[in-house]
Chains A and B, each alone.
Chain A
């Protein structure tokens, strides 16, 4: 005879934590899960390759100043570096983010989560934290490390004296590449029960918007339509942050509005979709 476990109501026997800290449990568990996956670690390692390349570039310019003619070190280099990290951020977003809520919905775990002393906002914050921290590891962290590496190798802070806006620009541009995609992906993840569908939907939206931008640029003969592309909005804002000549004619304010709009829509979708019980009318 196999033992019959008691599945009836039992009082919570664990340690009670003050309200508002439960999201940390989700975050910790989520990060541990992903850090145990070799693919994820491989992605993280790959994302640091540009950092190594740029470090070598800085070293080359410090050692051979004439190399600066070909590989200048300035706001342009940091802008390009932040742009480049966007590619890795895309893959991390897809890998980490697609199943964050979709898998819970698939397993009907959302009801289980929300039946615990965990508010909806904490659940979303925990899930957001998993993706945001993962993205930080491939965007903000290498960018900040590159700033530090530049100071260490140059042995001076002349660059930052000349361009005092570089460090804030690097941080804000990187954070934008963390926050907006993370919110968008979480919203998409809450719309489906299939992580594969979510991943393809995210990739599709991103690349369709890019293709649409290409066509509209050809038709109108102007890059003013860059606001239709998700990634070009980030580029427009980044150019403005670094105070570099804009690559697109879209005003930065429009790009900011689009990005804020995406974030607001994403939060609104999460608010509607992350519920313990789905009320079917």
Chain B
């Protein structure tokens, strides 16, 4: 039997529960490996690996002496189009939807959220830790793919020296885009019951529609701020792309980065608040 004195001593000796950032770091440490060595990485490898495979084939054609590009395409032009087609418009939003909406929703679906929420860490720390794990995980896979692509494609009828500033910008854009879209979809995942459909509708419905219209509607998209940073010319494929270009008002660097920073911080704060306050009902 424990005497009141010894119980008080035990209470004094018990370590204080970790704060928000310490808790977030612990969740990050736990989640990063889980995320990296999961089936999702297979999907991510498919999305970012395909352009690298295409680049390898093109490079192979150069090695055997064939002209891989039909004029006027050159290495830097094809690289720019790949950044638009595979990364800015596809990999960044899709990976953010995939991982971002799953940060909390997966735990709810697997009924494991109880174990996380009964730990002595703030609920917001769970979300933040998982969010940073997502960010590190995706950045660690996508950025090397962009670099390898650049090294393979740009030297074909192009110069690495001239294309280097664009590469630096592209790497930054991918990282910033993953952060902004990821935060937004983390909030969506923490709030909605079926976040994935909303994510797809937002990226492939709303953003396409809003950026093709004049006025302020486009400012309610992430693409408006992110695509303004892309240093490559926007592909002019189809009527929607044409409308997007015609009505495109390009915000400046500070405006774009500011917009993305606001989206990231507000969405993350809202997601943390939502996770802290919401009562998750596990379905049987």
Contact = CB atoms under 8 A, between A and B. Distances in A.
Chains A and B in contact, CB within 8 Å: yes
A215 B78 contact: yes
Given A91-B201, A211-B85, A211-B86, A196 B46 contact: no
Chain B residues touching A, range: 35 or more
A215 B200 contact: no
Given A212-B54, A215-B78, A94 B197 contact: yes
Contacts of A98: 196
A256 interface: no
B261 interface: no
A208 B70 contact: no
A218 to B, nearest CB: 5
Interface residues of A, number: 29
Contacts of B39: 192, 197
Interface in B45-79: 46-47, 50-51, 54, 58, 68-71, 73, 77-78
Interface stretch (B17-25, B89-97, B124-132, B168-176): B89-97
Given A196-B105, A200-B196, A212-B54, A218 B73 contact: yes
A135 to B, nearest CB: 15
Tell me the interface secondary structure of chain A in the complex.
Answer: helix
Q: Main secondary structure on chain B at its contact with chain A?
A: helix
Contacts of A39: 194, 197
A94 B200 contact: yes
B33 interface: no
B70 A201 contact: no
B235 interface: yes
Given A204-B47, A208-B50, A219 B73 contact: yes
Interface in A85-110: 87, 90-91, 94-95, 98
A208 B46 contact: yes
A7 interface: no
A200 to B, nearest CB: 5
A214 B54 CA distance: 12
Closest 8 CB pairs of A and B: A221-B70, A211-B85, A200-B98, A214-B85, A211-B86, A207-B90, A95-B197, A218-B73
Interface of B: 39-40, 43, 46-47, 50-51, 54, 58, 68-71, 73, 77-78, 81-82, 85-86, 89-90, 94, 97-98, 101-102, 105-106, 109, 194, 196-197, 200-201, 204-205, 235, 237
